[in-house]
Amino acid sequence: MSPLITVEKTGPVALAVMHAPKANALSDAFVSELRQVLHDVETDPDMGCLALISGHRSFCSGADLESIKEAKPDPLEPSVYAAFGRIYDLFGALLNAKIPTIAGLAGHVVGAGINLALACDLRIAADNLLVRGFAAAHVHPGGGHLRMLTGQLRPDWAAALALFGQPLDANAAVVSGFALRTVSADDLRKEVLEVAAGVGSDVELIRSVTASYRATQSSVLSPQAAIQLERAPQVWSLHRRP
């Protein structure tokens, strides 16, 4: 069986190209493989960034429809509940990754596919992007979807997507805060790699800054506490600076 994800390494950047069926629908097999890719990159001392792009026209179609059908009769059935839990664990692992993560978004990003994108630190949008929320599937958002939306998008755009079922195109993705910038679909891979390379080549420093960044994200800090959080690793980095 061919891999659902292929990984290409360029300097400290690992580019994961997703080839899963149904436009990278979040099946159990695909989620498990993506989680393994993240683990492998995090534990590779030479890697300082993980970039995700799709080998299909679209980034991610959301939860696998067969999984949704199986869940409908009894969502609390242990095997069903565990399968969805593994998807949510993937989002948590990305949000807490030891290295920066970036996603190149093209085509459709739907439902839980939005979670996969928002669980990454940064997103670049192709000009053919169309983002549609859980409303299209008539399912309540899950996997931390609402927290990620309200934490990362402007409030009006988060409400538009989550409450009113309004789609985001590439321009709206940038205006809303969903994506950093938009490029042509043909240039997406190149742009993602160029932005990813901005982490630099000092992997030890990258991981130190990322750890401080994660701690800041997960806490409600006063400005003074934020300064103290960063002070020790900053001194350490200054001390070892060439």
Q: Please report which confidence band the pLDDT of residue 76 belongs to, taking 50, 70 and 90 as the band edges.
A: low
pLDDT tens digits for range 103-148: 999 999 999 999 999 999 999 999 999 999 988 777 888 888 988 9
Which pLDDT score, from 0 to 100, does residue 54 have? 98
Please name which of 154, 138, 86, 145 lies closest in space to residue 117, comparing C-alpha atoms. Answer: 145
Provide the mean pLDDT of the chain: 90
pLDDT, tens digit (0-9, with 9 covering 90-100), for 192-211: 999 999 999 999 999 999 99
What is the DSSP secondary structure assignment for residue 110, as one 8-state letter?
A: E
Listed by start position, the domains of the chain span 5-198, 202-239
The pLDDT value recorded for residue 67 is 67
Q: Determine the average pLDDT of the residues in 28-53.
A: 97
Q: Which of 36, 16, 14, 34 is nearest to 25 (CA)?
A: 34
> What CATH class is the domain 5-198?
alpha beta
Residue in this structure with the two tokens 């030890």, named with its chain if needed: 204
pLDDT of residue 233: 75
